[in-house]
Amino acid sequence: MSHPFDTLTPDLVLDAVESVGYLSDARVLALNSYENRVYQVGIEDGTPLIAKFYRPHRWSDAAILEEHRFSLELAEREIPVVAPLERDGQTLHTHAGFPFALFPRRGGRAPEPGNLDQLYRLGQLLGRMHAVSASHPFEHRETLGVENFCYASLSTLLDGGLVPRSLLPAYESVARDLLKRVEDVFARTDFQPIRLHGDCHPGNILARDDAFYLVDLDDCRMGPSVQDIWMMLAGER
């Protein structure tokens, strides 16, 4: 079975970066990424860049550009995010069928689990981000909801043969009971969906010199603000 990134070779990565107008020094380092492919690319007489290749057909160009505008808007409002670089007024590029964007390199480490001082400052950062993101909605990004995040996932598991047949009846019964409870919580909770980071776990936050940077906004979407908070919790907290 072919994979969407089968043809994304190191040479193609270099060609893509150079197609935008940069001259590489032929150094390519693959970085961790689940959904997309991300590389650090060395630049002649310059600082290395980060090239993110979006999974083909995962997002529309309009959705990716909306992610980029969100990042740039946050950066303009002095929210510390790693926003895409503009080249000739463009942030989204395409090479050999792969949509991609270039980002400045930012070093750092993940926040320390359970560090209350860091959690407090992260809460302040998210509050500032949400104050900006509540100003207007996305137009091309989905809204987090029970149907598209819960029932759609359950259907994938049940219809895809991913659950052992011996466990199917019990699994489906428990899952549907749980999703009914989730529906009830959504129904009785009064909240206004806002633009979210969407995947705000410690791995998408860089801590450096007592500052934090938010990275990887490709899962941004509309939803309740708590979606950007709960992934910070650890253990019993």
pLDDT tens column, 140-193: 999 999 998 899 999 999 999 899 999 999 999 999 999 999 999 999 999 999
pTM for this prediction: 0.90
3-state secondary structure of 85: coil
| Mean pLDDT within 61-79 | 98
110 assigned to some structural domain: no
Position 94 pLDDT exceeds 60 = yes
Minimum mean pLDDT range among 114-118, 152-156, 212-216: 114-118
Which of 190, 216, 218, 228 is labelled catalytic?
A: 216
Answer yes or no: do 125 and 202 share one domain. Answer: yes
216 carries an active-site annotation: yes
86 and 143 in a single domain? The answer is no
**Same domain, yes or no: 24 and 132:** no
Two tokens at 136?
């207007």
Residue 2 is assigned to a structural domain of this protein:
no
Domain membership of residue 5 (yes or no) is no
The lowest-confidence range among 2-6, 40-44, 64-68, 93-97 is: 2-6
User: Could you tell me where the DSSP H helices lie in the chain?
Assistant: 10-19, 61-76, 116-133, 146, 152-159, 168-188
Whether 83 and 137 map to the same domain: the answer is no
Quick check: is 3 in a domain?
no
First to last CA, the chain: 42
Place of tokens 């994979």: 3
Q: Please check whether residues 139 and 205 belong to one and the same domain.
A: yes
Stretch 36-48: mean pLDDT? 95
Containing structural domain, residue 96: 10-104
* Residue 35: CATH number of its domain: 3.30.200.70
Q: Which of 25, 117, 177, 199 is catalytic?
A: 199
pLDDT at residue 101 in the model: 98
Q: Do residue 84 and residue 146 come from a single domain?
A: no
Measured between alpha carbons, how far is 38 from 13 in angstroms, rounded to an integer?
10
Environment class of 196 (CB within 10 Å of its CB; exposed 0-12, middle 13-18, buried 19+): buried
> Does 199 qualify as catalytic in the annotation?
yes
> Same structural domain for residues 42 and 78?
yes
Query: Do both 82 and 165 map to the same domain?
Result: no
In this structure, is residue 176 part of a structural domain? yes
Identify whether residues 181 and 219 lie together within a single domain.
Answer: yes
DSSP state of 195: E
Q: Work out how many domains the chain is built from and give that number.
A: 2
Residue 228 sits in a domain whose CATH number is 1.10.510.10
Average pLDDT over residues 48-52: 98
DSSP 38: E
